[in-house]
Chain A
Amino acid sequence: EVQLVESGGGLVQPGRSLKLSCAASGFTFSNYYMAWVRQAPTKGLEWVAYISTGGGSTYYRDSVKGRFTISRDNAKSTLYLQMDSLRSEDTATYYCTTGSFDYWGQGVMVTVSS
C-alpha cells in the first residue's frame, strides 16, 4: 500500500525557515517524480514544486522561486521542501504527492504569522 507521510509543519514567523519532510513507502520511491502541492485555508489547490527521479531537475511556481527548495533522498525514500523567507501568503496545508499526482499524503499545516 502506497503511503506518504508528511511532517515538519507548524507555526513560524514571517521571514523564518521551515523544512518539510515526506516519508514514502509501498512503492519504489526512486522511480517516481514527486511534487508538493499546497492549499491555503478555504482555498483551492496549487502546485508548489516538482522534482525528477534523481533530483537533477526541479521546477517551482513563480511565487516560491528563490525561496523554496525541493529535494529528495532516494536511499531514505524521503522527499523534502526547504522553505526560506516565509511569508503570510505561504500559510497552507502542504501535500506531498507522486509526480503523476495519483497518491497524496494527509497533508501538514504551515502557518506563517507573527
Chain B
Amino acid sequence: DIQMTQSPSVLSASVGDRVTLSCKASQNINKNLDWYQQKLGEAPKLLIYFTNNLQTGIPSRFSGSGSGTDYTLTISSLQPEDVATYFCFQYNSGWTFGGGTKLELK
C-alpha cells in the first residue's frame, strides 16, 4: 500500500504569509494527487486535482505542484478563512489520504 506523509503536522502563519504544505508518497504516484481543505465541523472540499489543477470556485491564491513522490500545496497570501486542516490524497494505486496539516493563524 502507498503511504502518504504530510509535513508539518501543524503550521502557524500570519495573514499575508506565503505558506507551503508538503506531501510525500512512499512510491511514485505519477501526479495522481489531490488536495483537500477541511474546516472544523465540515466535510472536506476539493481544492486541487491531478497535482496542479485548481477546482472550480477555488481562489487563485491556492496552487499545487510536484511530481514523483514529492508534492506541495502553496497558499500565496494566507487569509483568515484559510484556517483549516489540509489533506493530500493519492489515487495512483488504491486510495490513500495523508495525515493532514493543521494550518493556524499566528
Seen from chain A, the residues whose Cβ lies within 8 Å of a Cβ on chain B are 35, 44-47, 50, 95, 100-102, 104-107
Contacts and interface: CB of A to CB of B under 8 A. Distances in A.
B34 A101 contact: yes
B99 A44 contact: yes
B100 interface: yes
A6 B91 CA distance: 24
B7 to A, nearest CB: 14
B87 A45 contact: yes
Contacts, number: 35
Contacts of A100: 49
Interface of B: 34, 36, 42-46, 49, 55, 87, 89, 91, 95-100
A102 B98 contact: no
Nearest to A48: B95
Contacts of B43: 95, 104-107
Given A101-B89, A102-B46, A104-B44, A44 B100 contact: yes
Contacts of B55: 102
22 contacts: A44-B87, A44-B97, A44-B98, A44-B99, A44-B100, A45-B44, A45-B87, A46-B97, A47-B95, A47-B96, A47-B97, A50-B95, A95-B44, A100-B49, A101-B34, A101-B91, A101-B95, A102-B46, A104-B43, A104-B44, A106-B42, A106-B43
